[in-house]
Amino acid sequence: MKSILMVTTIPETLQAFILPFAKHFRTQGWRVDGMASKIFSNAQCLQNFDYVWDVEWSRNPLDLQNLLLAPRVIQQVVQQEKYDIVHVHTPVAAFVTRYALRNIPQLQHKPKVVYTAHGFHFYRGGKPLKNAIFLNLEKLAGRWTDYLVVINREDEEAAKHHKLVSPKRIYYMPGIGVDLKQYSSDSISSSEVMQIREELGLAPQTQMLLSIAELILRKRPQDILKAFAHLNKSNTLLAFAGNGPLLNDMQQLAKELNVADKVRFLGLRKDIPILISAAVATVIASEQEGLPRCVMESMSMGVPVIGTEIRGTQDLLKDGCGFLVKVGDVVSLSKAMAYVLNNPLEARIVGQRARERITQYDVNHITELHSALYAQALGAKNGAELINYRQN
């Protein structure tokens, strides 16, 4: 039986992004285990992995405490279970796990280590010192990496330019997938949309803009709020789906901008497809992303996206598949909002164009690419499919 250990810093990441892969490979007869901090508290992980392992680390990639206890636990688990593949995600989990496995001798059944970079912490426009630190950390960890998967073209270019690993072992995949059946306008009824609108107190003529993101600094939610206030347009509402440390500041800013009555802070939601269906557009103003899932979800449902000109988001929205503005340009962001609100037909055309593009990001397609990569890592001949895709 083939076996794989899937590792992230926190179990919520496994739940949100990795479970489709765990389910698929279990159906193929693999043993699939998961590892994260406090994973035993996550019911979905307990249900969908064969076994789970708890490891102690923090989400701060520069916290040296991460290198004290976790490596020993990881070494013991991997040597004991003799995994064929260890697939790591997210900065802390990826670095610490690769560090822990760097010196396991081949005679002790050393697994193949696959690292999916969900967006390097160094990027165009980033602070020079921070970029230098994280670039050198990635260079160091590249020595302990068998295969590097990147999910946007800027990271692919950077990985090759800086020779993080051999170019032959760098693979571009279009994200980690979106479920096109779940995120489909055909799966949402008009009654469900009406119920959401009633919950939010929307009049029939009111148009809603939606932001789906954690309220944290790099997502720049304050830019969205300021741009919305700049609209000064009646019969509009802005909804934020997500929690985060900036919630109180955002609520105060809405009051200061005199738009508190036209803004809703919804917190964490489990009905994102319905919320997207109820919106005329979704908005993301981040300064740093890998390949934002919320953009893919909106595209999948044919709802136009307003985003910033950064890696990942640009990959998705280029060629007229969305509306792009510069990071921090509140005026342009507001103009894009106004255009979508004032030109519903043109906005729908953009949304439909995006819907056609997103098919290559389907989770089933990404799962096939993972299967090909794992086959290549383990020496099977059917890894050729991934090579062809990478070269195209």
3-state secondary structure string across 84-140: CEEEEECHHHHHHHHHHHCCCCHHHCCCEEEEEECCCCCCCCCCHHHHHHHHHHHHH
Summarised one tens digit per residue, pLDDT across range 154-167 is 999 999 999 999 99
| Strand 85-89, strand 305-308: pairing | unpaired
Q: Phi and psi of 105, rounded to 5°?
A: -65, 150
The model's pLDDT over 228-257, given as tens digits with 9 standing for 90+, comes to 999 989 999 999 999 999 999 999 999 999
pLDDT at 382: 46
Mean pLDDT of 332-353: 97
- What average pLDDT score do residues 329-346 get? 97
- How sure is the predictor about 386, in pLDDT bands with cuts at 50, 70 and 90? low
Question: pLDDT over 90 for what percent of the chain?
Answer: 88
Return d(Cα 390, Cα 385) in angstroms, integer: 9
CA 334 to chain centre: 25
Average pLDDT, the chain: 93
Domains of the chain: 3-177+362-391 (3.40.50.2000), 185-360 (3.40.50.2000)
Segment 66-81 shows an average pLDDT of: 92
Q: What is the mean pLDDT of residues 319-336?
A: 98
pLDDT-derived band at 104 (thresholds 50, 70, 90) equals: confident
88, 113 contact by CB (below 8 A): yes
Indicate the helix (H) or strand (E) that contains 7: strand 3-7
| 97 within 8 A of 115, measured Cβ to Cβ | no
Q: How confident is the model at residue 103 (pLDDT cuts 50, 70, 90)?
A: confident
pLDDT at 347 over 70: yes
Rounded to an integer, what distance in angstroms lies between the CA atom of residue 74 and that of residue 128?
A: 32
Mean pLDDT of all residues in 141-149: 97
Q: Are 319 and 336 in contact (CB under 8 A)?
A: no
In the predicted model, is pLDDT for residue 378 greater than 50? yes
Judging by beta carbons within 10 Å of its beta carbon (0-12, 13-18, 19+), is residue 7 exposed, middle or buried? buried
Distance CA 353, CA 333 (A): 21
Residue 174 sits at the vertex; the CA angle it makes with 147 and 22, to the nearest 5 degrees, is: 65
Beta bridge partners of 241: 212, 267
Q: Between 344-357 and 293-300, two packed helices, what is the crossing angle to 10 degrees?
A: 110
Asked whether residue 216 carries a pLDDT value surpassing 80, the answer given is: yes
As given in the structure block, the two tokens for residue 144 are 């302990």
User: Does residue 383 register a pLDDT over 70?
Assistant: no
Tokens of 359: 């098919």
Alpha helices, H only, 266-380: 272-278, 293-300, 313-317, 330-342, 344-357, 363-377
